[in-house]
Structure 1
Amino acid sequence: MTKDKKLTTSWGAPVGDNQNSITAGSRGPTLIQDVHLLEKLAHFNRERVPERVVHAKGAGAHGYFEVTNDVTKYTKAKFLSAVGKRTPLFVRFSTVAGENGSADSVRDPRGFAVKFYTEDGNYDLVGNNTPVFFIRDAIKFPDFIHTQKRHPQTHLKNPNAVWDFWSLSPESLHQVTILMSDRGIPATYRHMHGFGSHTFKWVNEDGDGVWIKYHFKTEQGIKNLTEEVGTRIAGENPDYHTEDLFNAIENGDFPAWKVYVQIMPLEDADSYRFDPFDVTKTWSQKDYPLVEVGRMVLDKNPENYFAEVEQATFSPGTLVPGIDVSPDKMLQGRLFAYADAHRYRVGANHNALPINRPKNEVNNYQRDGQMRFDHNGGGSTYYEPNSLNGPSESPEDKQAGFPVTGVAESVSYDHNDHYTQAGDLYRLLSKDERKRLVKNIVGAMEPVESEEIKLRQIGHFYKADPEYGTRIAEGLGLKVPAEVK
C-alpha cells in the first residue's frame, strides 16, 4: 500500500523513521545528530502558550452577523450599513476564573467575545453574559482577579479573599447578586444572553454621536442549572458546555442571537440618574428601549482548537470607523490590558495569525518581531511620513472628539448608589428564585472564617433590600449589624 503524503520535518525534509531514535548500536545512547528527535521534543516542550490570566477555559465557533434594521442614522460602521448585509465572525465563550482544565458548569460569569471581520478591519466586542461587572475602575482589576484565583500558600480557592474584597467594594453588589442567582450557571453557552457591558459611542457620517449599549438575546431561550446539577455535571463531564456547543453546530442546530442596542443622546449622560459610564450599573430599558440591529448565527465549528480558539485574540480597542469608546474607566483600562495580554501570550504579531487576520488588506509600518511569518513588508517603505507613496492616514476616519474638563487627579465616580439596582433586581425575582439566591450566597459565605467580613457583606445586602440582608444573616446564624438598620 502506498501513502499519498510523506511525513516531513518542519523544514520540509522527509522523515525516514519516526518510530526509532538514532542510537550508537541497539543499546547505545541516543545521538545528538538525530535532529528529527530533537526537533520533536523541542517543539513538544513549547506546544502550550501561556493560558489566559482570565477566561482561560473556553469554546468557539464561526458564524455570521446579518443586519436586520437600518441604523445608519446612528453609525457609519460599514458592516452595519445596509439591511441584509452579512459579515463573517468568530465567537469565543468562556468561564472567567478557572484554569484551562477547569469545569464548564461552575458558578462564574461567562465571557462573550465576538470578532467581526468587516471590510474596514476587525471589530471586537468583548463582553460577558451579564450587563454589569464587579468593579468600575481598571486599577482594581488585578486585585479582584487575585481574589478569584488560588491562595499563594495553600494553592486552594480562598472564599475569605473573595468576600473580603467584595465586602470592601460595595460597587460589586449588583454583579454579585446576578452571579449568585439562577443566572450564575447557564445551562449551555447557547442558552444565555450576551452583553457588551460597557458604554460605547456610535458616530454617523455627519459626525453626530450617541452613547450605546449592546444586548445579544439568545433565540434558544434562557436556561440555567441549579447549584446541585452544575456540581454533578462538573464531576461527570467538565467539558459539558464545550461539547454541547460543538455538537449542536455539528448537528445543524445553529445557535442564534438577536442583537439590539440601547441608544442614549450624548447630552443625557450629564443628567441621567446613574452614571452611564459606570459598568456596575445598567440603563433602564424604560428610559432607553432596545433598538434592533441584527442577528448573529453560529454555523461552523473550528477545524483546529488551538489554531482558532486558543490563538484567537480579542480587545475592546479593536475598533472600526463609526464605533468609538466612552470614558468608562474600566473600559479605558481594558483598551490597554487586553491587547497587551495578547502581545505577551501569543506574540506581537498575533493579528497576523489566520484566526485574527482581517479580511481586508493590512498596510502599516510595523516590522519584525517574533514569529513574523509573512513577507514582513518586503523592501517597501518602512517609515512615515514619506514621499514614496507609502500608506498614509485618512482624516475622515479619525475618532470623533469629545470635550473633557477637570483636574488631573485620582478620583472616583460622582455617583455612589450601589444599592438601588441590586435591590430592584432582588425584588424582581420570584419567591423560589430568591430562595435559591439566598441559599447560594449562604453556601458561598459559610467557609469565610472572619465574622467581620460576613457582617460587612450582610450590611450591603440589607441596604439593597432589608429582606435580602435579613435572610442572608439568618442563613449564616448572624444578625444584621445595628448600624445599617
Structure 2
Amino acid sequence: MIRKQKDKQDQLLTTASGIPVGDNQNSLTAGERGPVLIQDYHMMEKLAHFNRERIPERIVHAKGSGAYGHLTVKHDISKYTCAKLFDEINKKTECFVRFSTVGGEQGSADAERDPRGFAVKLYTEEGNWDLVGNNTPIFFIRDGVKFPDFIHTQKRCPMRHVKDPNMMWDFWSLSPESLHQVTILFSDRGIPATYRHMNGYGSHTFSMINDKGKRVWCKFHFKTNQGIMNLSANQAERMKGEDPDHAQRDLFDAIERGEYPSWRFCIQVMSEEQAEKVEFNPFDLTKVWSHKMWPLIDVGVLELNRNPVNYFAEVEQSAFSPSDVVPGIGFSPDKMLQARIMSYPDAQRYRLGTNYQQLDVNRPRCPYENYQRDGQMSQGFGGDQPNYDPNSIQGTPKENREYNEPALDIGHAIVDRYDHRKGNDDFTQAGDLYRLMTDDEQQRLVENIVNSLKNANKVIQERQIVHFYNADHEYGERIAKHLKLTLPKKQGVKTT
C-alpha cells in the first residue's frame, strides 16, 4: 500500500551507511551508452542486498521447470563467430533449459500474467554458455540500478504481505520506458498456455566475434515449432484453480510421451557501423530491432528430450549466469546486461554456495582448471596443485591471451550518470505494437489493462493513461473511457 505523506518534505535517500544518494535512476557509465563502471558502489550495494533478501528460493524466477536436450547447428555462421559449438553443420551440443514465471513464489500458479523465464545452459567444448532470457524480446527497464525497485513492485507489500496494484502501477506510471513491455504483458501473449508454446529470447544485445577479430552485435531468438498458444484472462483464472502446476505437468508429460518440444534458433546481426548510425540505442533492453532491417538468420534447432530424475538436484539447483559466455560470444554496453553480469553469479553464490559450479547440473562437460579452492560444498577440486598464480610449477593452468577479445572503442567518453530517458522514445514501439493488433486483440488488451489498473489509486491511473495516449491516442482514450477518466488537455507527465 502506498501511503501519502502529508505536510512533510521528502526524506533524503541514502546508502545503508547513511551516505546521500544523488541519482537513483541512472548507473555510472563511461559515455551515454555505457559500459557501466564497477566503481558505481550504490548500484552494487543495491543489487548485492537485493540478492540476499530471500532464503532460500530464487528472488525472481522462483518457480520453474527444466529439461535436457541439445542444440543442433543447421547453418554456417562462422563469418560472425569463432565459437566452436557452431563450427560444424549438424554438430550437437548438450543443453539444459529452465523455464519459469518471474514474480511468483515456488507455490504460485503457472498461469499468472507474468513474463516467463527462458534460460539455456549449453555445455560446450570451451565451457558453459548461459543464455539467460525471457519469452519477450524486451524488458520493463533499461538500467540495472532500477531492477531491485521494479521487482519489489511485483512482490508482496512489505506491511500487508499481499500483491498491491498500487505498487506495480505506481512504478510503471513513473517509468514510461516500461510501456512497451506492459503492452506485451497485457496483450494476448501475456499468459503463455504452456512452456512449449512460447518463444524465447536472449533479449539483451550481445556480441559475436569471428576468427579475424571482427565484432558484430547480435540478438538471440528461439522460435517455437509447436506454435504460439496463450490463455485468455478467464482461462487463466480457471486454470489457476484447476491445476496450478499445469505448465510443469505439460512439459514433463510431453517429453515422457516422446513429443519432444523444439525451437528454431536464430540470430539478428547488426554491424558496429550500423549501431553508430541507428536512430535508437541498440543496447537498450526496452527496444526491439526491426526484423525488416535486421532479419532473422537461421542457425539451428533446440530440442528437449530428457526429463530430470530429481527436481531439486537438477532444476532447483541449476544456476544460470549471463556472465558465462564462451570464446566467440561477448557482451555489449547494454546497461541491464552489465548489471546482470555481476548480479547473477553473486545471487548463485549466496543461494547455492561458493562452489555452485561444481554441482552436476552446472558442471562443465569439458576439462576445467582454476585456482579457486575451499568454500562451501567444495569437492576437493585442484588436488595438490598450488592455489595461486603466477607460479613456477609446470603443468599448472596458464592464461592464453589468444582468447582475449578485441578492444572496444567507446570514444572519448565522459564518466557520469546519464539520464536514460533523455533522447529516448518510449512510446512509438508500444504504439506500433498496438496498431499491429487486430480489433479483437486490442479489445482484450484494453480489458486486461483495465481489470488490473482499476485497482490502483486514481492519481496513478491518470498518470499511466498519459503513457498509453502518447503511444496511440485511441489506445489511451479506450482505457480512459473504461476507467471513467478525463484525459488532460496537455499531454505529458513529469517522471522521476
Confirm or deny a common fold (TM above 0.5).
Answer: yes
In the alignment, what sits opposite 2:45? none
What aligned pairs does 1:416-435 form with structure 2 within 5 A after superposition?
Answer: 416-435=424-443
Most deviating of 222-231 and 266-275: 266-275
Deviation at 1:398, TM superposition (A): 1.1
Structure 2 CA distance, aligned partners of 1:400 and 1:320? 14
- Given that 1:193 and 1:222 are in contact with CA atoms closer than 8 Å, whether structure 2 keeps it comes out as yes
- Given that 2:68 and 2:306 are in contact with CA atoms closer than 8 Å, whether structure 1 keeps it comes out as yes
TM-score by length of 1: 0.89
- Given that 1:198 and 1:277 are in contact with CA atoms closer than 8 Å, whether structure 2 keeps it comes out as yes
Deviation at 1:376, TM superposition (A): 2.9
The residue type equivalent to 1:97 in the other structure is: G
Structure 2 CA distance, aligned partners of 1:312 and 1:417? 37
From 261, 271, 280, the equivalent of 1:255 is 261
From 267, 279, 292, the equivalent of 2:298 is 292
Structure 2 CA distance, aligned partners of 1:437 and 1:270? 35
From 190, 193, 197, the equivalent of 1:184 is 190
CA-to-partner distance for each residue in 1:90-136, whole Å, 9 max, x for gaps? 00000000000000001000000000000000000000000000000
What aligned pairs does 1:250-399 form with structure 2 within 5 A after superposition?
Answer: 250-372=256-378, 374-389=379-394, 390-399=396-405
- Given that 1:260 and 1:294 are in contact with CA atoms closer than 8 Å, whether structure 2 keeps it comes out as yes
Asked whether 1:477 is paired with 2:481, we answer no
In the alignment, what sits opposite 1:462? 469
- Given that 1:124 and 1:315 are in contact with CA atoms closer than 8 Å, whether structure 2 keeps it comes out as yes
What aligned pairs does 1:156-171 form with structure 2 within 5 A after superposition?
Answer: 156-171=162-177
Deviation at 1:382, TM superposition (A): 1.3
Deviation at 1:400, TM superposition (A): 2.5
What aligned pairs does 1:100-115 form with structure 2 within 5 A after superposition?
Answer: 100-115=106-121
In the alignment, what sits opposite 2:455? 447
**Looking at both structures, which has the greater relative contact order when contacts are Cα pairs under 8 Å and sequence separation is at least 6?**
2
- Given that 1:130 and 1:194 are in contact with CA atoms closer than 8 Å, whether structure 2 keeps it comes out as yes
In the alignment, what sits opposite 2:19? none
Structure 2 CA distance, aligned partners of 1:160 and 1:400? 47
Structure 1 CA distance, aligned partners of 2:211 and 2:382? 33
Structure 2 CA distance, aligned partners of 1:473 and 1:81? 54
In the alignment, what sits opposite 1:10? none
In the alignment, what sits opposite 1:125? 131
Structure 1 CA distance, aligned partners of 2:162 and 2:199? 31
Deviation at 1:484, TM superposition (A): 1.0
- Given that 2:127 and 2:366 are in contact with CA atoms closer than 8 Å, whether structure 1 keeps it comes out as yes
The residue type equivalent to 1:448 in the other structure is: A
What aligned pairs does 1:212-227 form with structure 2 within 5 A after superposition?
Answer: 212-227=218-233
Deviation at 1:248, TM superposition (A): 0.3
In the alignment, what sits opposite 2:14? none
In the alignment, what sits opposite 1:35? none
- Given that 1:49 and 1:346 are in contact with CA atoms closer than 8 Å, whether structure 2 keeps it comes out as no
In the alignment, what sits opposite 1:436? 444
- Bigger radius of gyration: 1
The residue type equivalent to 2:389 in the other structure is: E
Structure 2 CA distance, aligned partners of 1:258 and 1:428? 24
Structure 2 CA distance, aligned partners of 1:323 and 1:237? 40
From 199, 203, 209, the equivalent of 1:197 is 203
The residue type equivalent to 1:215 in the other structure is: H
In the alignment, what sits opposite 2:38? none
The residue type equivalent to 1:359 in the other structure is: R
Deviation at 1:415, TM superposition (A): 3.5
Structure 2 CA distance, aligned partners of 1:357 and 1:412? 40
Gaps of 5+ in 2: 1-53
Deviation at 1:444, TM superposition (A): 0.4
Structure 1 CA distance, aligned partners of 2:278 and 2:100? 33
Structure 2 CA distance, aligned partners of 1:351 and 1:481? 55
- Given that 2:213 and 2:405 are in contact with CA atoms closer than 8 Å, whether structure 1 keeps it comes out as no
What aligned pairs does 1:205-244 form with structure 2 within 5 A after superposition?
Answer: 205-244=211-250
Structure 2 CA distance, aligned partners of 1:270 and 1:201? 15
Structure 2 CA distance, aligned partners of 1:466 and 1:333? 35
Most deviating of 341-350 and 391-400: 391-400
Structure 2 SS opposite 1:221? coil
In the alignment, what sits opposite 1:411? 418
Structure 2 CA distance, aligned partners of 1:303 and 1:99? 23
Cα RMSD after superposing both structures: 1.1
In the alignment, what sits opposite 1:9? none
- Given that 1:275 and 1:415 are in contact with CA atoms closer than 8 Å, whether structure 2 keeps it comes out as no
Structure 2 CA distance, aligned partners of 1:431 and 1:393? 59
The residue type equivalent to 2:166 in the other structure is: N
Structure 1 CA distance, aligned partners of 2:55 and 2:128? 23
Q: Which runs of 4+ in 1 moved over 2 A?
A: 412-415
In the alignment, what sits opposite 2:89? 83
Gaps of 5+ in 1: 1-47
Asked whether 1:51 is paired with 2:51, we answer no
The residue type equivalent to 2:383 in the other structure is: G
Structure 1 CA distance, aligned partners of 2:186 and 2:194? 17
The residue type equivalent to 1:408 in the other structure is: V
In the alignment, what sits opposite 2:41? none
Most deviating of 249-258 and 49-58: 49-58
CA-to-partner distance for each residue in 1:298-346, whole Å, 9 max, x for gaps? 0000010000000000011011000000000000000011110000000
The residue type equivalent to 2:185 in the other structure is: L
Deviation at 1:49, TM superposition (A): 6.6
In the alignment, what sits opposite 1:38? none
Structure 1 CA distance, aligned partners of 2:156 and 2:125? 43
Deviation at 1:362, TM superposition (A): 1.2
The residue type equivalent to 1:222 in the other structure is: I
- Given that 1:311 and 1:355 are in contact with CA atoms closer than 8 Å, whether structure 2 keeps it comes out as yes
